Amino acid sequence: MPIPEPTFACCFFEPVPHTDRRARDFGYKARRARDGKPSPARNERVRDLGHWIPGRRPVAQVGLTWAALCQGLTRFRQAECKSKAPGWMPVTLSRPHRCGDAVLSVSCLVLDIDDGTDPLVVSERWRDWPHIWHSSWSSSLAHPKARLVVPLAEPCPVEVFPRLWRHAQERTGGAGDEQAKDASRYFFLPAVGPAGDCRAEVVDTGGGHWYDPRPWESLPETPEEIALREAAQEAARLKEDMLRRREAGDVAALDRMRADLLKVDPGERAALGVALGGRVTGSKVKGVVCPGCGRPSVWWPLSPHGYPGAMCEHQGSCGFRVWLDELERGGR
């Protein structure tokens, strides 16, 4: 009985016109009132800005063979701007929506090489496994930019994908774009840009020896995972100390330790957001009312890795930033 040819799960998207919905925003209407301008009519509240953005709902979710994947990623489309090119994600989605918490697994490893590294040099580092590379829309011969696509022997669960991406980044010599490392990343299909660079290459090693770094758990922890683990240990220590201080009646120390706990414990950060009227969306708390501008625009990450405080989405006009313990005291 012949062995069935493997397929790689992919979702494809069509771009949509970018529309301006600012008229529905409180700040926009308030500024118009302040400047003595009438509010726009209802049929003017959504207008075409003349450029395009990626679609949020896939037009197709399919399993592609290696041959079909090669054909789709080596055919260049004409696009006056890259946002008008269709896009894809090498993922399986739990629901038809392009967002991080809908991704279940990743079928292909994709790295954006935007630092000017010769794509042939990057390809050589992956010569032992079948892969594809193609130039991106903004690539030129003077400053090449490319996308490397490496099919996986088995889909990578989204929970361990950060480890896989970090492992691949090291193999690539650190040339991958750190901004394109999340599992829900949207990639444009090959398109001819202003410099006319439209190079692509398929490297087929034969025999179907797909890239297989399993077992996934053996991959080294990422810096973010190490920081989270250390934060969890610190949170456990703080909770034990807070229990002893509470029994001793040391109120001043409790307030200080509560502030430290909100800097390291994702659970406490999420609970505070809900208590203040916000909502947990993916890896963030959003929708808390801003004391600075009065809009439900304060947010903070659940993970303390990075910025441990809270901030308003409108940094240009409002600029509100605060530590979570100060926001908690103000919300009481």
Q: 263 and 306 share a domain?
A: yes
Judged against a pLDDT cut of 90, whether residue 55 lies above it is answered with no
Q: Total structural domains in the chain?
A: 2
**Residue 124 phi, psi dihedral angles, 5° rounding:** -65, -30
Residue where a domain terminates, one of 176, 191, 218: 218
Q: 153 and 244 share a domain?
A: no
Render the burial of 232-262: b for 16+ CB within 10 Å, e for the rest: eebbeebeebbeebeeeeeeeebeebbebbb
Judged against a pLDDT cut of 70, whether residue 19 lies above it is answered with no
Q: Where are the beta strands (DSSP E) in 216-283?
A: 279-281
- Give the pLDDT confidence score for residue 57 in this predicted structure: 80
- Give the pLDDT confidence score for residue 232 in this predicted structure: 86
- Give the pLDDT confidence score for residue 248 in this predicted structure: 86
43 confidence band (pLDDT: 50, 70, 90) = very low
- Give the pLDDT confidence score for residue 116 in this predicted structure: 93
273-312 residue pLDDT tens? 999 999 998 788 999 999 999 999 999 998 877 678 999 9
- Give the pLDDT confidence score for residue 300 in this predicted structure: 94
Greatest alpha-carbon pair distance for the chain in Å reads 77
- Give the pLDDT confidence score for residue 50 in this predicted structure: 54
Residue where a domain terminates, one of 176, 194, 218: 218
253-264 residue pLDDT tens? 888 899 999 999
Closest Cα to residue 254, out of 271, 239, 268? Answer: 239
Q: What average pLDDT does range 22-27 have in this prediction?
A: 44
Q: Which residue has the tokens 């001043």?
A: 252
What letter would DSSP give residue 110?
A: E
Alpha carbons 209 and 2: distance in angstroms, whole number: 17
Q: 311 and 170 share a domain?
A: no
Range of the domain at 17: 8-218
Q: Where are the beta strands (DSSP E) in 114-163?
A: 131-135, 146-157
Closest Cα to residue 79, out of 52, 105, 47? Answer: 52
- At 222, the amino acid letter reads T
Alpha carbons 187 and 109: distance in angstroms, whole number: 12
Q: What average pLDDT does range 17-33 have in this prediction?
A: 52
Q: 98 and 72 share a domain?
A: yes
Judged against a pLDDT cut of 70, whether residue 225 lies above it is answered with yes
111-138 residue pLDDT tens? 999 999 999 999 999 999 999 999 999 9
pTM score: 0.74
Alpha carbons 73 and 199: distance in angstroms, whole number: 11
195-215 residue pLDDT tens? 888 999 999 987 778 999 989
| DSSP codes, 75-132 | --EE-SSGGGS-EEE-EEESSSS-SGGGEEEEEEEEEEE-SS--HHHHHHHTTTS-EE
Q: What average pLDDT does range 235-257 have in this prediction?
A: 89
Q: What average pLDDT does range 165-176 have in this prediction?
A: 93
- Give the pLDDT confidence score for residue 332 in this predicted structure: 47
Residue where a domain terminates, one of 156, 183, 218: 218
